Amino acid sequence: MRFQKPAQLMPAALLTASLLTAAAGVASGQEVGETLRTEVKGEILVEAPEEGPKRKSDPIPPLAIPLSDAASLARVPSDVMERDGLQLVLDRKHHQLLVLRDGRMTRRFPAAVGTTGWETPAGRFRVFEKVKKPVWTHPVSGDLVDAESEGNPLGSRWIGFYRDCNGRSGWDGEQYLDINGCTVAGFHGTPYRWTVGRAVSHGCVRLYEENVQEVFDLVRVGTQVTVVP
């Protein structure tokens, strides 16, 4: 996925609340029996646009049970705790984002993470991109939706930390998606506040608007991101 800085354009990446696609991306659909299969080409951020509070085919996953500060820190790898400076640690199992500075937790935020089959990638990454007011490009229609418009699933901030160019396929609740190209994942806001704290996305991490703005101001390109499964 590539954001074009002047216009603040954002391509596609795979998640349940919006299907982002690069301007060069192409999506085509065909019926397989009674199942729609859609091929998406190009660098994409997958977030499927939500209509209403939830799509009919999506059961509402439960909220994660909050952990204490001590239990939250116990989930952080020991070598991460020993590092100096600012780091982000996403606890995928408990749907929360920790902000660490010099081995101390300074912030803790609830987060929406990837659903079954579209789990947020686990591992060690670094922030590679920050965008204010990202414009969402619909992968099928090509329509552009700016950050202030209804229907933009990204909110006011985007913080990219993962890119994979091996392609992938999977069921998104309504159709199969065949992605031939690069997918990206990151932190972003969301107009769907009910999703935060649940496993509902296709890999990206949704935060409340007020929280993603705070995280955006804290991190820089190069900040380490650790995702714990």
Domain-located, residue 60:
no
In this structure, what DSSP letter does residue 212 have? H
Gap between the Cα atoms of 26 and 49, Å rounded? 17
Comparing C-alpha atoms, which of 92, 90, 88, 123 is closest to residue 199?
92
Q: Residue 146's domain is classified under what CATH number?
A: 2.40.440.10
Judge whether residue 116 has pLDDT over 70.
Answer: yes
Q: How do residues 133-168 score in pLDDT, each as one tens digit?
A: 998 766 556 678 887 777 788 999 999 999 988 877
Residue 161 lies in a domain: yes
Cα–Cα distance between 45 and 203 in angstroms, integer?
A: 9
Amino acid at residue number 141 = S
- Is 55 among the domain residues? no
Residue 111 has pLDDT above 80, yes or no: yes
Q: What is the pLDDT of residue 46?
A: 52
Residue showing tokens 């089959």: 117
Least-confidence region, from 2-11, 78-87, 99-108: 2-11
**Cβ distance 91 to 75 under 8 Å?**
yes
Give the mean pLDDT of 197-205: 92
pLDDT band with cut points at 50, 70 and 90 for residue 65 = confident
- Please tell me the distance from the alpha carbon of residue 140 to that of residue 144, in angstroms, as a whole number: 11
The answer to whether position 181 is within a domain reads: yes
Q: What percent of the chain has pLDDT over 70?
A: 69
- pLDDT reported for residue 119: 92
Residue 129 belongs to a domain: yes
* Helices within the chain (DSSP H only): 69-74, 78-81, 209-218
Q: Which of 65-74, 96-105, 210-219 has the lowest mean pLDDT?
A: 65-74
Among 79, 78, 99, which residue's Cα sits nearest to residue 219? 99
Residues 6-26: pLDDT tens digits?
A: 334 343 333 333 333 332 333
Q: Does residue 61 fall inside a structural domain? A: no
Number of compact structural domains in the chain: 1
Report pLDDT for 15: 34
Is the pLDDT at 102 greater than 90? The verdict is yes
Structure tokens at 182: 């690069």
Say if 56 falls within a structural domain.
no
Is 33 a domain residue?
Answer: yes
pLDDT higher than 90, residue 207 = yes
CA proximity to 204, closest of 98, 112, 129, 97 = 112
> pLDDT per residue over 40-63, tens digit each?
444 445 554 444 444 444 567 788
179 contacts 168 by C-beta, under 8 angstroms? yes
Domain that holds residue 98: 9-50+67-228
Whole-number pLDDT of residue 96: 98
